[in-house]
Structure 1
Amino acid sequence: MTEQSIDNILPSSEKNVKQWYVVHTASGAEKRIKEDMLRKIAKQNMTDFFEDILIPVFGVSEVKRGKNVKVEKKLMPSYILIKMNMTDKSWHLVKNISGVTGFLGSKTTPKALTESEIQNIFNNLEAEAKEAKNSKLYEVGEIVTVIDGPFETFMGTVEEIDQEKNRLKVSVAIFGKATPIELNFNQVKKND
């Protein structure tokens, strides 16, 4: 560090205590930075200084090209949570990883998260994951386009949804008459 060392800034009660810190990273580079961090920690025999490195993500189902796929969404894009013992050596290890732009706090003094702040992040992550699990890909009344099967290119209205079987009952107009047909999620796409 430039002016004062971390070891001199931290109160003696906080030395040798692992706390959660927030590290800002280059956008989209969180996974690579975490892997680089783990490699450097192991290479420099500093595993005793680090307890956990987390990228807060949750899984969500999306329809892409007519297929139901699971994707990871970041709760805090461009941020990594690290539970570590903050020393000059550990600070420099993290700060010198390519793609790390800094710690949350002042430029020279990282700010540890309080218990309530870290609990709030974990609660938000849990709530987002639960909401994503319960979110519906389709809604009754929604207009969709059939992209596979004998009714390909037909537009219809979603009448019923069977989340467990990944099936929809869609009403399409055949010869001017609304006709319900059953389709898999991957046989339709949402209209934008």
Structure 2
Amino acid sequence: MTDEDSKLISDEAETTEASDAAIDDPGQDATEDAVLEDGAIEDGDAGDDDSSGGESKDFMDSETDADDAPAMDWYILKVAFNREDSIADALRKRIKMEGMEEFFGDVVVPTEDVATFTRDGKRRITKRKLLPGYIMARMIINDDTWFLVRETGGISDFTGSAGKPMPMDPADIERFVNRPEVDDDDEPAPIKTAIPFKVGDRVRVKEGNFENQEGDVDTVDEANGRITVIINIFGRSVPMELDHWQVEPL
């Protein structure tokens, strides 16, 4: 073999090795591309997971919003004297007529059961208004409910400060709303004696719902042993009918 033939064979071998290397490189590039594509798919899956997590959070937020919906509270409404029952009925009818039952609970005229004796000595149970000139409503305050209440005939306003309705204190709810009824088997009322008060006397309530409240005697009912005392409640003068033994002079 001549030198020229040897050189030719050597050149062909180098050419063959270069071709093989060129063939190997595209395969490696394709593998790297596949890895990159797999990584992109994984990244895409991760993005989907984030999206799902976001939807779950929104759902939880909506549930929290539902849980934070305003609850009903008891409110005191100023109404015309001696019309408490009819005004309460009118308010109930308007609530039903406007289809707003979901925003209202009970509407009550606070009363207490009182045991009295007739002139012939018979005992009877009668209803006595605890707060003449007021009724109480359990409700959610919003523009619509506020307007409905204020537009009901005989209702002048909510009790509160700066024109803002104030919910009742829990102690007042127990005092005026959640009251037990008097049964005929309960202890009889004390025997009434001569009334030691006259109109204009300053007195203090010594027992009952208005204990320690002060006021002036407005009327004296000797036949039934009762007196009417003007007491200031919720910033308003209210006539309260009491048994004479429930008060003491100042």
Q: Identify which of 67, 74, 88 aligns with 1:34.
A: 88
DSSP-derived class of the 1:76 partner: coil
The structural deviation recorded for 1:63 is: 3.4
* Alignment match, 1:115: 170
TM-score, with structure 2 as normaliser: 0.44
Distance of aligned partners of 1:79 and 1:15 in 2 relative to their CA distance in 1, 3 Å threshold = farther
Q: Which has the higher strand share?
A: 1
The structural deviation recorded for 1:122 is: 4.4
Distance 1:86 1:97 in 2: 15
* Alignment match, 2:114: 60
Distance 2:150 2:224 in 1: 44
Q: Give the aligned CA root-mean-square deviation in angstroms.
A: 3.3
After TM superposition, the runs of 4+ consecutive aligned structure 1 residues lying more than 6 A away are 189-192
The structural deviation recorded for 1:120 is: 4.0
The structural deviation recorded for 1:64 is: 4.2
Distance 2:149 2:171 in 1: 24
Q: Which runs of 5 or more residues in structure 1 are unaligned?
A: 1-12, 144-188
The structural deviation recorded for 1:121 is: 3.4
Q: Structure 1 counterpart of 2:157, which letter?
A: G
Q: Which has the higher helix share?
A: 2
What is the percent sequence identity of the aligned residues?
A: 25
Q: Which has the higher contact order (CA 8 A, sep 6+)?
A: 1
Distance of aligned partners of 1:72 and 1:16 in 2 relative to their CA distance in 1, 3 Å threshold = same
* Alignment match, 2:23: none
Q: Structure 2 counterpart of 1:20, which letter?
A: W
DSSP-derived class of the 2:148 partner: helix
DSSP-derived class of the 1:60 partner: strand
TM-score, with structure 1 as normaliser: 0.56
* CA displacement, residues 22-67 of structure 1 (integer Å, 9 cap, x when unaligned): 1111111111011101110010000001011121112223234535
Q: Which runs of 5 or more residues in structure 2 are unaligned?
A: 1-66, 195-222, 227-250
